[in-house]
Structure 1
Amino acid sequence: MFKISFSLAAGLILLSGCAHHRAEPRTLKIAVNEIYCTETACACVHDVASRSYDPFLNQLAETGIQLEFTYFIEPYQLEEALLSGQYDGVLSKPWLALRLQESAGADFERVADLLDPGNNGWLSGIVIVPADSAIQSLEELTGKRVVIGEAESYEKHQAALRLFETRKIKPTGIETRASCGENIGELLDGHADAAVISDYALSADCAVDFANPEDFRTLEHTEKIPLTSLMINRNKVSGRQVQQLKKSLLTLSGNPADEALLSKGFIAPVPWNPPELKETP
């Protein structure tokens, strides 16, 4: 776990009607688990996961927005942090936080989405088979063994199950594993006929240590969902602070790409309302 804080003496400047209103100075504590961040990614993928937030947080502080990032390498560490109630927000895959709202007593609002190094803001699961597999289509997985992700990994669990249901595919058995690496391992060891992994797994995940993209074929993608979002707990942070944060994030992002962020940075959050939640911000 790593912690970096950027603060200014000046308070947060907000607009109230036609008059300026100075809020009490406050630092928002943000828990971070992010694919391309060098502080949270495995060292084996630091050639592609080299994102640093320091310069951007310095720029953000100059606008009066003070954020303190605490980095968590493993998703379960992030989960423990959110359940502790110590944080005002989170930067991660949206589902990691949204699924914990009730347990954490939180109301997470997606303030902005973060683009990947290709300036893509979407994520999906991919259904893969070995390159030499006789299986050529998704429909052929009926009666086959499939391994998917666990419930905290939306793109390779809920989205995968919905894909199979929609296409009326009934594997002999569906097993779950905790990581893309484990899913790929089950496939390579012959314990599964197909595996569902995150679409970045063969280029920006620890699986690169033992798996080559050319050794697999993709049968299908699951539905697209937001890749990474900055979410703020509205039970702890005022609406005016949230709006000022969003405005500053979008103002500082754009063209040209931010070298440290590896992309153009933040964009307005794309709509996403997973049916597994009664209500999603």
Structure 2
Amino acid sequence: MLIMIAAAMLVLAGCGQSANETAAGGESSGEWPKVLRIGSLPMEDGELSRGADQFAKDLGEYLGIEVETFQGEDYNMMIEAMRSKKIDLTTYGPFGYIIAAERSNAKLLAAMNNGPGTEGTSVIIVPKDSPVQKVEELKGKNFLFADPASTTGHLYPRATLMKQLNLANDEIPEFFGNVSFSGGHDKSLLAIANGDADGAATCSQCIEMIGGAGLINPEDVRVIAESDPIPGGGALAYRGDLPQDLVDKMREFALSYADKNPAYFEGLGAKGFFPAEDSDFDGVREVAEMLEMSPEEMLAN
């Protein structure tokens, strides 16, 4: 499911020959782009960032073309970058993927998770010493979501709050004293562990994953609520007009990467990339419809 902190989030770098030029050449002539540029969301942990660099290096060697990396800012940037053909490949969270598929011609290459039949959840967390024991007791408190387009850091926990508090979607901000976006799961967890926020939403695997990176002590946060299971997984997606033989080669690389570099996935709370279909994300689409928010409204929050 991962997941929005995945270090393989891929964004086009803004240097060298433009992606529009290389991709257009590949699309019209069947030739591959001369440069494939991939990148990652900012991470507090340097080890995860180094994992993204290694992924790019290994992919370039496998494809036999130059691969460049760039660090993006958020999911919205990557969705827009794919729409404007400035991005070739990225790992989205499930909700980010369904928006990108709708508006940016994103196509599914593979899913990052723990294998067929595995599902994750999102959780509502508070500092370990907080007197809060259930979500109702967060009324009037400061609350953090991760990113507007995050499935486990916004979409599913928002639905969980609606269900447990018996509130409409537009009533969620009024329930809390303040609602904001931290910019990432790691930042939300750091805020809770340090007592800088009263509550936050994150992925169930993120507590141990971020803890394993040494950023927090997992015992400094406490779970008070959990979402329904989340289908799909982190979506490794490509721009839909890339040459098919390049797509086939990238999929071949992704599906075998766990054998080459299992440590990469251990740092991300997954076991590898696995075959996936667009329909695997229909459950996420159903939750998005329940929230009655357009992609534009969700991303603008």
When the two structures are superposed, what TM-score results if normalisation uses the length of structure 2? Answer: 0.60
Structure whose residues are more often strand by fraction: 1
Which residue does the alignment assign to 1:268?
275
Question: What SS class does the counterpart of residue 113 from structure 1 fall into?
Answer: strand
Which residue does the alignment assign to 1:175?
179
The Cα of 1:230 is off from its aligned counterpart by: 1.8
Which residue does the alignment assign to 1:219?
224
- Aligned-residue Cα RMSD (Å) equals 4.5
What are structure 1's unaligned runs of at least 5 residues? 5-22, 35-39
Matched, 1:89 2:89: yes
1:127 paired residue among 124, 128, 145: 124
- How far apart are the structure 2 equivalents of 1:112 and 1:249? 7
The Cα of 1:106 is off from its aligned counterpart by: 2.3
The 3 A distance-change label for structure 1 pair 45 and 83 is same
Which residue does the alignment assign to 2:7?
none
Structure whose residues are more often helix by fraction: 2
The Cα of 1:158 is off from its aligned counterpart by: 1.4
The Cα of 1:268 is off from its aligned counterpart by: 0.8
- How far apart are the structure 1 equivalents of 2:225 and 2:89? 34
Larger Rg: 1
Which residue does the alignment assign to 2:55?
53
- How far apart are the structure 2 equivalents of 1:262 and 1:150? 22
Matched, 1:70 2:75: no
- Contact map agreement 2:126 2:222 (CA 8 A) in 1: yes
- Runs of 4+ more than 6 Å apart: 118-121, 188-191
The Cα of 1:56 is off from its aligned counterpart by: 3.3
The Cα of 1:159 is off from its aligned counterpart by: 0.8
Question: What SS class does the counterpart of residue 82 from structure 1 fall into?
Answer: helix
What are structure 2's unaligned runs of at least 5 residues? 1-12, 17-28, 295-301
Matched residues, percent identical?
A: 16
Quick one: which amino acid aligns to residue 274 of structure 2? I
* 1:1-281 to 2 correspondences below 5 Å: 24-27=30-33, 29-33=36-40, 41-42=43-44, 44-46=45-47, 50-51=51-52, 52-54=54-56, 56-58=58-60, 60-61=62-63, 68-75=67-74, 78-79=78-79, 81-101=81-101, 106-115=104-113, 124-138=121-135, 140-141=137-138, 146-169=143-166, 172-173=175-176, 175-179=179-183, 180=185, 183-184=188-189, 187=192, 192-199=197-204, 201-202=206-207, 211-222=216-227, 223-234=229-240, 236-237=241-242, 242-243=247-248, 245-247=250-252, 249-250=254-255, 252-253=256-257, 256=259, 258-259=261-262, 261-262=264-265, 265-269=272-276, 271-273=280-282, 274-275=284-285, 276=288
